[in-house]
Amino acid sequence: MTSFLTQVYGTPVSPKNLILDSTHTLRVDKKGDFFLIDTSHRSTWKGRIISFIQWIIYGSKEKASDKAISQAIDQFKATLLKTSRQAENLIGKIDQASKTISSFKVDADYSHNAQITTKIDNFRIEILTYFADKGCVEAQLELGYCYEFGIDVRKNEKMAFNRYFEAAEQNNMYGIYNVGICFLDGISVDKDTNKAFNFIYLAAENGLECAQNTLGLMHQEDKKNEQKALEYFKLGAEKGYSPSLNNLGRCYDYGFGVEQNRKMAFQHYLRAAKLENAAAQYNVGNCYQNGIGTDVDNQKAFEWYQKAAINNYPLALNNLGYCYDFGIGVKKNRRLAFKNYNKAASFGLAEARYNVGNCYYNGHGVKKNRKKAKELLTLAKQVLNSI
């Protein structure tokens, strides 16, 4: 599940030299992408509650001017005072945190300083909790995300579900969707496909792209209704939602709910790949390598596998290893082949484990080790034979 900031605000911006005015705030998702948000149409405290927190995160990544940090702090403190006098304790912590941040050199990487990092993380969670308890949907969603994945706080799926449900009760579509995902995956609740479908359907019918994409997958995989799946993928694709574009490409690629059209498949994969979708980047590489909907171009295949591999997509890592192993689109390099096979295998990919086993057996890119080779090859064959 992606951060709701990515789902909502779409296109990242460069934070360099940005100065926030009274109608904008800067937010960042877990990948480190920044979003400039127009909050002029929203109440002050709801529109800016995370601005100071995001500057804390921002300061840990790149240089931030003293003026920008000071402005964000002052905005946030003023917002708190307007919200509740009970916030005075938090304002004291803001001042303490800002002094901690300013005590570092702007070039220093303090992410390795466990004590400071823990203090900042705890402070961020406390701020989110404060506003989530006051009914702020954005804080409820972000706090749910933090609890679900153990970001800045100990993982707690029950707390995640409760926060998502609070947002859903306010008729927030991301909250409704996330509650559906909890029922779908059994996050803090028993798996219930029917309940999951109902929540996700509601969000999808209200235009939420990620819900439309998930509903398409549910129709495709669970309900075996490829035509309906196609319709939902198209809804998301029309809005430029990259997972839907990629899944629509798969429909054209394999003839799911539509007449097979490899050129259309390639076009949709490419659109999604240009939006940094790792699965689509892998698919584009595969198309170029095998001439699916386009001419064979091994160099481009290698380049797209490389893009997806940067995003740790296991299939792309394995294929990148294959390219290095056999000199496909790049000069042969068995050391790099082994490195990529091994990284793909670390994600549990059976094909990659098999390739790592072969490397150990033949001493390709790594010192020969027949015992380790046998273990890996046996394990990989068991998995592959069970498919």
User: At 331, which CATH number?
Assistant: 1.25.40.10
333-368 pLDDT, tens digit each: 999 999 999 999 998 899 999 999 999 999 999 999
Number of domains in the chain: 3
Q: What is the pLDDT averaged over residues 378-383?
A: 86
- Do 360 and 283 belong together in one domain? no
Of all residues in the chain, the percent with pLDDT exceeding 70 is 67
Which pLDDT belongs to residue 131? 74
Angle at 186 between CA 180 and CA 188, to 5 degrees: 95
**Whose CA is closest to 19, among 82, 75, 65?**
65
Q: Is 271 helix (H, G, I), strand (E, B) or coil?
A: helix
Longest dimension (CA), the chain: 70
Which pLDDT belongs to residue 101? 46
CB atoms within 10 A of CB 193: 12
260-270 pLDDT, tens digit each: 999 999 999 99
Tokens 């998702």, residue? Answer: 29
Q: Does 205 fall in a domain?
A: no
Q: What is the pLDDT averaged over residues 105-113?
A: 40
Length of the chain: 387
- Do 14 and 102 belong together in one domain? yes
- Do 26 and 141 belong together in one domain? yes
- Do 30 and 147 belong together in one domain? yes
Q: What is the pLDDT averaged over residues 39-54?
A: 40
Distance CA 219, CA 252 (A): 16
Which pLDDT belongs to residue 96? 55
Distance CA 291, CA 256 (A): 20
> Is the model's pLDDT at 71 over the cut of 70?
no
Which pLDDT belongs to residue 20? 39
* Ramachandran region, residue 216 (left: φ > 0; alpha: ψ -120 to 50; beta: rest): alpha
Residue 384: partners with Cβ closer than 8 Å, 6 or more residues away: 350, 351, 354
Which pLDDT belongs to residue 73? 57
> Is the model's pLDDT at 287 over the cut of 60?
yes
- Do 43 and 147 belong together in one domain? yes
User: Which range of residues forms the domain containing residue 349?
Assistant: 312-387
177-195 pLDDT, tens digit each: 999 999 999 999 999 999 9
- Do 306 and 317 belong together in one domain? no
- Do 13 and 145 belong together in one domain? yes
Distance CA 181, CA 1 (A): 9
Of all residues in the chain, the percent with pLDDT exceeding 90 is 55
Q: What is the pLDDT averaged over residues 128-141?
A: 80
Which pLDDT belongs to residue 38? 44
Which pLDDT belongs to residue 283? 97
User: Quick one: CA torsion of 312, 316, 319, 320, rounded to 10 degrees?
Assistant: -60
- Do 342 and 252 belong together in one domain? no
Distance CA 150, CA 312 (A): 20
Please state at what angle helix 193-205 crosses helix 209-221, rounded to 10 degrees.
140
pLDDT band of residue 44 (cuts 50, 70, 90) is: very low
Tokens standing for 202?
């509601």
pTM comes to 0.72
What's the chain's average pLDDT? 78
- Do 101 and 1 belong together in one domain? yes
> Is the model's pLDDT at 226 over the cut of 90?
yes
**Contact 365/342 with Cβ under 8 angstroms?**
no
Please tell me which residue, 149 or 151, carries the higher pLDDT value: 149
